[in-house]
């Protein structure tokens, strides 16, 4: 199986078809030899062997034809019939002798007889030989013949006295008065016996005569023709076979096993002689030469047919496997690196080979189209990868700049957070001072009635108020500066600092009003101090001014409370902004790292796109619309039917 896997399709086809061809030739030759052998055997047994036996039988009948005619002429001789009617008188004896002698000399018969049933005289060419008697066993043949009613009888037997084979032809005659007898001749048949002995069937087959009782009469072996050997005693013969052959049929045959191999025996009954012509021949001699010739002929035919078949197998297998091999070669060229997709197979048949060529062309066309699209996509990927790489580099630079800016912004926000916290603390202190001033103003209103008595105290209190006003003026000035700084930072923060800018503006406005109010209070206090000396005339004016001062101080206290609350909220908001900026800085740092990774990936993708473009560019594609170029047309492969 491993060897078959390494073979080409053509070799596999040739081996399988050659094996089938050889197997077919062997089987057909074997069947042909068997059928031919059977036919030859049937022809030999049913035609040739009967013809040979019939020829021998006809030769025997030919040999007895003339003596039989002579005997019939004797039986119908009018002179002899008249002589029989006269009782075979002595007067006619000489005439008989002369007639018999003349007949014997002309026909060559061995003896001439005339046997009378009425007188019992047995006449030969020599005269009266003997007188027949029904009581004599040797004469029973005569009386039996007369009683049998046959017109003639031919007996072939060996003469006891001479030892020669004699054929006795006896013809019944009828004389006047119903006198019957036998006219006959005796013929020496040594020549016929020799001819029968010399008959051969095949190379070693023999012919012999057998009596109806199965005893051998004439045989090639003289020792067997003694009347004591029977057909069933011959090698291979048995009682059943002898009975089958000696059944009185015109022709019968059978095969049997003998020491020398299978034998064929045929028998033909000769009623004229009451004998059987039996032929025995080895079956191999009948079939041997013909069988050998048939085998040689079958081998020659097998060799010639096998040679022609192998040539046809070679051509057919090459026609089948050739296009497959060429298709494999073209695919190998495509796979080996040349990548020539311009080659096509010309379809010239509508069988499986044509289908293979058409499928190959469609496959190459589809592959050509796919590679073309891949090439276009590769070009687009290469351009896109270069743009992505360039964009990633620019984005990486911008991200780094943004990270640096965010870091600076975070640092500034930390400083702003510290300043806002300080402002919140200052606003808290100012609120406390304003509350104290309010308390003092209330108390001043309470003691307004005592102003006159306590002018000195008022003077001192006025001095303290002047100091407080200075403090308030300083707080207002610092608040104004803080609001100005907050506005600047809010402007820097942009959209996110817009709300803070509004608050800063309000704080600045309050600071300006606080400063103005403090200035007015200072002027009033100064005027009060200047006019304290004026006395009580001005107490009413002082009470009214004090009331105005109390109101203003309350307003300042409210404003300072709002400033303190806003400062706390501003500190919390700036803390959240600082936290958000810190998170933005971390995210920007992560984005910068991701951008660097994306830039590296884009660079790798650009390199892979260039490599893919180089690989795809190695393929040779068709010209536009799939038409073959002149170079590809010159390399078309032709598939023959």
DSSP state of 536: G
Q: Could you report the per-residue pLDDT of 316-365, keeping only the tens digit for each?
A: 777 676 666 666 666 666 666 556 667 666 666 676 667 777 777 777 77
pLDDT at position 380: 81
Query: How far apart are the C-alpha atoms of 611 and 184, rounded to whole Å?
Result: 128
pLDDT at 138: 87
Rounded Cα distance between 616 and 235, Å, is 95
Considering only the C-alpha atoms of the chain, give the largest distance between any 2 of them, rounded to a whole number of Å: 247
**CB count, 10 Å around CB of 560?**
27
Among the four given CATH numbers 1.20.120, 2.40.160, 1.10.20, 1.10.287, the one describing domain 406-584: 1.10.287
Which pair of tokens denotes residue 587? 């995210």
Name which of 363, 341, 333 is nearest 617 in CA terms: 341
Number of helices followed by number of strands (H, E) in the chain: 14, 14
Segments of the chain scoring below 70 in pLDDT? 1-10, 33, 35-47, 157-163, 191, 202, 225-227, 286-294, 319, 321-341, 343-349, 351-353, 445, 447-453, 455-456, 459, 532-533, 535-540, 542, 615-620, 622-641
Per DSSP, helices labelled H in 618-627 are: none
Domain 11-284, what architecture?
2-Layer Sandwich (3.30)
| Same-fold call for 11-284 versus 406-584 | no
The residue extents of the domains of the chain are: 11-284, 406-584
Separation between Cα atoms, residue 420 and residue 490, nearest integer Å: 12
Quick one: pLDDT at residue 449? Answer: 63
What is the model's pLDDT at position 632? 39
The per-residue pLDDT for range 460-493, each reduced to its tens digit, is 777 777 778 788 878 878 887 887 887 787 778 7
> What pLDDT is recorded for position 336?
61
Residue 371 confidence (pLDDT): 75
- Only one residue has tokens 């078309």, namely 636
pTM, full prediction: 0.40
Nearest Cα to 581, choosing from 415, 389, 429?
415
Which residues touch 589 (CB under 8 Å, ≥6 apart)? 403
User: In this structure, are residues 209 and 156 in contact, taking their beta carbons and an 8 Å threshold?
Assistant: yes
Residue range 385-443, pLDDT digits in tens: 778 877 777 777 777 787 778 778 878 777 877 887 787 777 778 777 777 777 777 77
Phi, psi of 504 (to 5 degrees): -65, -40
**pLDDT value, residue 84:** 92
pLDDT of residue 631: 38
Cα–Cα distance, 632 to 628 (Å, whole number): 6
Residue keyed to tokens 């006959």:
184
């Amino acid at each position: 199986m491993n060897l078959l896997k390494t073979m080409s399709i053509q070799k596999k086809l040739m081996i399988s078809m050659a094996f089938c061809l050889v197997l077919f030739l062997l089987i057909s030759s074997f069947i042909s030899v068997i059928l031919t052998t059977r036919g030859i055997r049937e022809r030999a047994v049913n035609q040739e062997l009967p013809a040979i036996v019939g020829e021998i039988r006809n030769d025997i009948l030919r040999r007895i034809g003339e003596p039989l005619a002579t005997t019939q002429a004797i039986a119908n001789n009018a002179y002899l019939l008249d002589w029989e009617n006269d009782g075979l008188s002595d007067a006619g004896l000489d005439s008989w002798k002369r007639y018999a002698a003349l007949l014997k000399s002309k026909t060559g018969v061995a003896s001439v007889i005339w046997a009378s049933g009425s007188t019992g005289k047995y006449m030969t060419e020599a005269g009266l030989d003997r007188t027949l008697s029904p009581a004599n066993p040797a004469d029973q043949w005569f009386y039996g013949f007369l009683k049998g009613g046959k017109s003639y009888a031919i007996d072939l037997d060996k003469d006891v006295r001479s030892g020669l084979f004699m054929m006795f032809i006896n013809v019944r005659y009828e004389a006047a008065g119903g006198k019957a007898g036998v006219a006959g001749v005796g013929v020496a048949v040594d020549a016929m016996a020799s001819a029968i002995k010399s008959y051969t069937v095949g190379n070693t087959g023999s012919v012999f005569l057998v009596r109806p009782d199965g005893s051998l009469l004439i045989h090639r072996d003289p020792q067997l023709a003694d009347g004591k050997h029977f057909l069933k005693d011959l090698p291979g013969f048995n009682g059943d076979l002898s009975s089958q052959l000696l059944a009185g049929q015109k022709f019968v045959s059978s095969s049997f096993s003998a020491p020398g191999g299978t034998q064929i025996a045929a028998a033909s009954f000769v009623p004229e002689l009451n004998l059987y012509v039996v032929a025995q021949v080895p079956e191999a001699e009948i079939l041997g030469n013909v069988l050998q010739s048939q085998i040689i002929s079958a081998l020659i035919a097998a060799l010639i047919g096998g040679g022609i078949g192998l040539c046809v197998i070679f051509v057919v297998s090459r026609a089948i496997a050739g296009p497959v091999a060429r298709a494999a070669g073209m695919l190998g060229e495509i796979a080996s690196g040349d990548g020539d997709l311009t080659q096509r197979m010309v379809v010239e048949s509508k069988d499986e080979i044509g289908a293979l060529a058409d499928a190959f062309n469609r496959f190459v066309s589809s592959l050509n189209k796919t590679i073309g699209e891949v090439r276009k996509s590769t070009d687009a990927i290469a351009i896109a990868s270069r743009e992505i790489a360039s964009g990633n580099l620019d984005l990486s630079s911008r991200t780094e700049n943004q990270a640096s800016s965010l870091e600076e912004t975070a640092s500034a926000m930390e400083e702003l957070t510290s300043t806002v916290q300080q402002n919140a603390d200052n606003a808290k202190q100012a609120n406390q001072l304003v509350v104290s001033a309010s308390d003092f103003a209330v108390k001043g209103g309470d003691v307004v009635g005592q102003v006159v008595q306590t002018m000195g105290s008022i003077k001192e209190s006025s001095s303290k108020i002047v100091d407080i006003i200075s403090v308030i003026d300083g707080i207002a000035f610092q608040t104004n500066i803080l609001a100005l700084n907050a506005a600047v930072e809010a402007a820097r923060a942009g959209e996110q600092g817009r709300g803070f800018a509004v608050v800063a503006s309000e704080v600045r406005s309050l600071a300006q009003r606080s400063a103005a109010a403090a200035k007015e209070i200072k002027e009033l206090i100064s005027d009060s101090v200047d006019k304290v000396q004026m006395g009580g005339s001005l107490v009413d004016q002082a009470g009214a001014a004090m009331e105005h001062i109390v109101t203003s101080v309350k307003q300042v206290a409210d404003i300072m409370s709002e400033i303190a609350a806003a400062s706390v909220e501003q500190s919390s908001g700036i803390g959240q902004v600082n936290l958000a900026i810190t998170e933005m800085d971390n995210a920007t740092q992560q984005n910068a790292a991701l951008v660097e990774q994306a830039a590296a990936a884009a660079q790798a993708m650009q390199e892979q796109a260039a490599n893919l473009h180089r690989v795809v560019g190695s393929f040779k594609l068709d010209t536009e619309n799939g038409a073959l170029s002149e170079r590809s047309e010159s390399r078309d492969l032709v598939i023959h039917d």
